[in-house]
């Protein structure tokens, strides 16, 4: 299905250098903010308290979050847990110099339950647990390993599926997306949680899919467009997949924006990371991956065997 058809190829590669300069500067800015500000990690990574509260009737997490904010208890993550009457509240522990962990837990429990009981007397604390920073370090370590494993798997797949230059170009473009997403979270100090980490890993796979589509069309064009240069082949490949890109990314972005607007605080940063990642994923697959593959020297000879010269004898291997 094609909603948009172009009779001539759009000269993307002609302006690739300018786009690469913009990408490089954006990449450096993201690294700078990551180094200067760091990520605002959630309690899954830093440690905190987890409280399970049961109500006599169904309750909305947004109302509980508003109640806690009104009581001066900030940074609360409130989600439904099981039934509509059960709520899970995650909170960072107060950092007072004269408080031990047990004292901090008791102080936090008293403040939270006082605020919740003032709004609804049926609120009952079922359990309260402490999530240590050691668990957070393990999650960060496992998340880094997952990111590394995804990158290695993508490179191996693309090197087998296409050519090693395409694999290198795709990984550089995808890491460009990941670093820029992290740079946004570091600059605005948005909370980086496990759902956001899942969104970053999802963007890796999403961007790879777009790069594979463009590179597959480029491989076909190398065989069809015998007299075209490598930039012209890439221009034709990108132009030929624009309709598919607009339809696929447009419908996906509509769904993600719906989550961003209507999903509430629980899905806000998850949808925000996906929104940023999809936008930069389109950009990097077209204007980062293809120019890098061109700079690495990909050519028609990598996909098409050279034609046999006239008069050259055909070599036939002897069968044992």
| CATH, residue 104 | 3.30.70.3220
- Per-residue pLDDT, averaged over 44-64, amounts to 85
Task: Let me know: does 238 contact 230? Beta carbons within 8 Å.
Answer: no
Range of the domain at 140: 13-41+136-309
Q: From 291, 258, 247, 167, select the one nearest 3 (Cα to Cα).
A: 247
Count CB atoms within 10 A of the CB of residue 250: 11
Whether pLDDT at 275 is above 90? yes
CA–CA separation, 86 and 121 (whole Å) = 15
**Predicted pLDDT of residue 98:** 52
Residues in the chain, overall count: 320
Residue 171 counted as domain residue: yes
Count CB atoms within 10 A of the CB of residue 153: 13
Residue 213 counted as domain residue: yes
Residue 294 counted as domain residue: yes
Q: For 158, phi and psi rounded to 5 degrees?
A: -70, -35
- Per-residue pLDDT, averaged over 211-237, amounts to 88
Instruction: Quick: pLDDT tens for 60-101.
Output: 888 898 899 888 888 788 888 777 888 888 888 766 545 666
The residue out of 83, 99, 131 marking a domain boundary is 131
**Predicted pLDDT of residue 273:** 93
**Predicted pLDDT of residue 315:** 43
Residue 2 counted as domain residue: no
Instruction: Quick: pLDDT tens for 277-289.
Output: 988 888 888 888 8
- Per-residue pLDDT, averaged over 179-188, amounts to 93
């Amino acid at each position: 299905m094609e909603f948009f058809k172009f009779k001539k190829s759009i000269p993307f590669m002609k302006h690739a250098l300018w786009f690469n300069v913009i990408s490089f500067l954006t990449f450096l800015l993201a690294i700078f903010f990551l180094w200067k500000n760091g990520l605002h990690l959630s309690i899954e990574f830093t440690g905190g308290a987890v409280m399970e509260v049961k109500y006599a009737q169904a309750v909305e997490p947004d109302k509980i979050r508003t109640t806690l904010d009104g009581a001066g208890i900030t940074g609360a993550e409130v989600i439904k847990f099981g039934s509509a009457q059960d709520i899970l509240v995650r909170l960072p522990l107060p950092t007072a110099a004269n408080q031990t962990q047990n004292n901090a837990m008791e102080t936090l429990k008293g403040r939270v339950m006082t605020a919740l009981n003032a709004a609804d007397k049926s609120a009952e604390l079922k359990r309260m647990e402490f999530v240590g920073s050691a668990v957070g370090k393990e999650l960060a370590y496992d998340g880094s390993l997952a990111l590394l494993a995804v990158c290695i798997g993508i490179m191996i797949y693309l090197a087998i599926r296409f050519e090693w230059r395409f694999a290198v170009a795709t990984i550089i473009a995808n890491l460009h997306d990941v670093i820029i997403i992290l740079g946004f979270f570091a600059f605005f100090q948005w909370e980086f949680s496990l759902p956001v980490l899942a969104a970053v890993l999802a963007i890796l796979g999403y961007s790879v899919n777009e790069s594979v589509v463009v590179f597959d069309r480029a491989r076909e064009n190398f065989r069809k467009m015998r007299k075209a240069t490598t930039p012209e082949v890439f221009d034709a490949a990108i132009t030929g997949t624009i309709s598919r890109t607009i339809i696929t990314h447009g419908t996906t972005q509509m769904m993600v924006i719906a989550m961003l607007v209507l999903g509430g605080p629980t899905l806000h940063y998850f949808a925000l990371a996906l929104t940023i990642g999809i936008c930069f994923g389109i950009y990097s697959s077209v204007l980062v991956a293809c120019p890098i593959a061109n700079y690495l020297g990909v050519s028609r000879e990598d996909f098409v065997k050279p034609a046999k010269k006239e008069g050259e004898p055909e070599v036939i291997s002897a069968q044992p």
